[in-house]
């Protein structure tokens, strides 16, 4: 009854491991440690593999059999939107190739349940105030397209050979469940702002002319610990069987603007977070906020932490790390 977690040495993966451990689950991590940290594993066994390499499939299937794997949480992926625009083919190989090889190994080993890490990026620029899972899927960058392609692969395997699966569409993940598990990759609003403040620079805001209350983009921020718990709830739901939608939004269900987040980060940290305002980025939607009814009704999951909790934990984690702001 072992859960295999790909990308388990990463930011989200480290939190998923903590929740699985607290639930008494046996875990095996597969990670190439290209961006993850072995220190996050806390004694969980590690199989070091590059999942984008087709040659990984027999090794992965063998490990599944050896460790008695019965389900998979597939987190491993590249996630920098700007990088995906510059390297679209590589993102296809990494993200779509990775999930294809994991599913191939699962079929060989007879492992029939997977929770797939997807993204709100599959929606592109939604037209509605709250984004529902059945809304149009129109990703505007290669990263979002690889996540949508991953969902298609998972869904196709479910139809072809009975894979039990759910794709969790993450909204903006931030915060830290413990200081040592904090996000050290500078790739989202909170870590980008802290990175610039640590350099003695102002945070950057891309556009203040959007049709939102303060003109900046509005996003749905979800605490990484709540997100991690959603994976365990989803695994339990797959184990029990019965009807489950193939995609579920994981968010707080309320939005906060970029300017509001920076102002509240300043209040938490005591720093001057007055931003430098730059022009808008192509493809940035004005508002992306999750409708979370399906997560509540089908998984029994509701986010427990609000934006204040997220920002306080992110700040405390940053200050506990090597780039603390003095």
Task: Catalogue the active-site residues.
Answer: 143
The three-state secondary structure class of 250 is strand
Q: How many residues does the chain have?
A: 326
CB 222 within 8 A of CB 170: yes
296-308 b/e with 16+ CB inside 10 Å = b?
eebbebebebebe
* 119 contact partners, CB below 8 Å, separation of at least 6: 79, 143, 144, 147, 169, 170
At a CB cut-off of 8 Å and minimum separation 6, what does 282 contact?
none
262 membership: H or E segment, kind and range: helix 258-269
State the CB neighbour count (10 A cutoff) for residue 250: 28
Q: Where are the beta strands (DSSP E) in the chain?
A: 2-6, 26-30, 46-47, 69-74, 113-119, 164-170, 172-174, 204-206, 218-219, 221-223, 247-250, 256-257, 276-278, 287-288
SS3 of 263, please? helix
Alpha helices in 132-243 (DSSP H): 142-161, 189-198, 224-240
Q: Which residues pair with 172 in a beta bridge?
A: 221
- Parallel/antiparallel/unpaired status of strands 46-47 and 26-30: parallel
């Amino acid at each position: 009854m072992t859960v295999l977690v790909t990308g388990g040495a990463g930011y989200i993966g480290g939190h998923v491991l903590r929740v699985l451990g607290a639930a008494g689950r046996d875990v095996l991590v597969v990670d190439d440690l290209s961006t993850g940290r072995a220190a996050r594993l806390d004694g969980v066994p590690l199989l070091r593999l590059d999942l984008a390499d087709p040659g990984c499939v027999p090794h992965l299937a063998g490990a599944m059999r050896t460790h008695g794997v019965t389900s998979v949480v597939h987190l491993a992926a590249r996630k920098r939107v700007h990088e995906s625009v510059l390297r679209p083919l590589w993102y296809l190989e990494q993200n779509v190739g990775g999930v294809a090889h994991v599913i191939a190994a699962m079929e060989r080993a007879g492992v029939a349940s997977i929770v797939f890490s997807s993204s709100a990026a599959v929606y592109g620029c939604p037209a509605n105030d709250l984004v529902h899972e059945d809304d149009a899927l129109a990703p505007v960058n290669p990263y979002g397209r690889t996540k949508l392609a991953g969902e298609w692969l998972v869904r196709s395997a479910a139809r072809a050979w009975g894979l039990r699966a759910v794709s969790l569409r993450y909204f903006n993940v931030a915060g830290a469940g413990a200081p040592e598990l904090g996000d050290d990759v500078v790739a989202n609003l909170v870590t980008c702002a802290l990175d610039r403040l640590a350099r003695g620079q102002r945070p950057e805001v891309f556009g203040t002319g959007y049709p939102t209350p303060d003109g900046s983009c509005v996003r749905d921020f979800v605490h990484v610990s709540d997100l991690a718990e959603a994976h365990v709830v989803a695994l339990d739901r797959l184990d029990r069987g019965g009807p489950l939608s193939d995609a579920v939004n994981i968010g707080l269900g309320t939005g906060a603007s970029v300017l509001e987040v920076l102002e509240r980060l300043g209040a938490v940290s005591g720093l001057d977070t007055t931003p430098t305002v730059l022009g808008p980025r192509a493809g940035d939607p004005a508002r992306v906020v999750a409708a979370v009814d399906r997560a509540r009704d089908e998984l029994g999951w509701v986010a427990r932490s609000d934006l204040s909790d997220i920002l306080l934990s992110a700040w405390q984690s940053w200050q506990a790390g090597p780039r603390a702001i003095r």
